[in-house]
Chains A and B, each alone.
Chain A
């Protein structure tokens, strides 16, 4: 148990001072009928940005992007904030994991 406590200390010491609250640009994406609107979004490269995703469907969706290394469940009627970047210029794909056939999108950083 002593070991576990020391370990908590280690992780806490590592994570605590790193909290950041910088001003980040926001980009909105809506989910309707298991599709992303817009399905293509352009964000600035080399900058931290915040995606605000509103799920207008009644069912939950999971925003998932292997390219961006992000995954987040958004309940029906719910809203999610996801911080990404700073990104290198390029195209990053994302999907709604629960409805992968229709919920597809691309994020372009430039």
Chain B
């Protein structure tokens, strides 16, 4: 049972942390719970479908289907996170202003909730499909259903608990700094996911690794340790990254930052009552 719990926990953890960040970043939006909840539900549904067709997906595109699907899911999530941050760099100031004026979280504006729904659904879908396949394998090999259920629920509870802890931690950030901090969190998350996508593409032989192992910091902080794994999910820590992964990481990071500054400035030109540049973009600019 414990073995089952550990594997389910590992699979659930990434999705749980991403959902926690989404919940943090969409703070102040009315009905966001419903949006994120729908994202989770869609993700679970998608996970079952992907698991059911796992064989066909794997065999697709000369046996590269699984990697291409994984990379596509990750890159789609990266784009949604990028869109969220760019939007926030243009409007984040109003959101934070309204929230501190009223002293509590309220529904303000039309934030890109659909983007956050998609990110949630994709995260749950990707990790969920592997969980479903794993549990299916246990059922097929005759493991007791009760034991399976107990292990699965224990693992799920563990993952959700860590996610919830992260969310509560994010909420402790003073409102003044809240959106600039969550902006950075989202930015690093996106860059890490892009680097993971590069890993899948090189596993499928679709992109060269360039240099297979740029450094090896496994001796300092192993990626399969608890902290290594958390940092891997949150900021894309990799103890043995390939050069192509670093390229994806840096291009994503720089790309989103440039777009944030660009759109933050553009927005300010259109509205005279705002500061020359959105405060969020200013605070998050690399200088």
Contact = CB atoms under 8 A, between A and B. Distances in A.
Contacts of B87: 3
Interface in A40-99: 48, 50, 58-62, 66-67, 69-70, 72-88, 97-98
Interface string B215-256: 000100011100000000000001110101001100110011
A30 B212 CA distance: 25
Given A20-B205, A75-B58, A83-B203, A3 B82 contact: yes
A60 B136 CA distance: 8
Interface residues of A, number: 46
Instruction: Name the residue in B87, B208, B223 with the highest tally of chain A Cβ atoms < 10 Å from its Cβ.
Output: B208
A60 B263 contact: no
Contact of B207 (A3, A20, A87, A100): A20
Given A10-B255, A83-B204, A72 B83 contact: no
A21 B87 CA distance: 39
A67 B242 CA distance: 12
Given A59-B140, A66-B224, A78-B59, A83 B202 contact: yes
Interface stretch (B60-68, B148-156, B270-278): B60-68
Interface centre among A19, A24, A79, A98 (most CB of B within 10 A): A98
Contacts of B199: 69
A86 B239 CA distance: 17
Interface secondary structure of B, over-half rule: helix
Nearest to A24: B205
Tell me the dominant secondary structure on chain A's binding face: mixed
B97 to A, nearest CB: 22
Contacts of B222: 66
Given A60-B54, A78-B59, A86 B133 contact: no
B110 to A, nearest CB: 13
Contact of B63 (A69, A80, A85): A80
A79 B213 CA distance: 27
B206 A19 contact: yes
Contacts of B82: 3-4, 7
A7 B58 contact: no
Nearest to B6: A100
B137 interface: yes
B83 A1 contact: yes
A8 B78 CA distance: 10
A16 B222 CA distance: 32
Task: Point out which of A15, A61, A77 has the most chain B C-beta atoms below 10 A from its C-beta.
Answer: A15
29 contacts: A3-B263, A4-B83, A7-B83, A7-B255, A11-B79, A14-B251, A15-B207, A18-B244, A19-B207, A48-B208, A50-B205, A60-B54, A60-B136, A60-B137, A62-B133, A69-B242, A70-B203, A73-B133, A75-B55, A75-B58, A75-B133, A79-B59, A80-B63, A80-B66, A82-B203, A83-B205, A84-B203, A85-B212, A97-B7
Given A7-B82, A60-B54, A62-B133, 15 more contacts: A3-B259, A4-B82, A11-B79, A11-B252, A14-B248, A19-B206, A20-B207, A20-B208, A48-B205, A60-B133, A69-B199, A79-B59, A80-B66, A88-B212, A97-B134
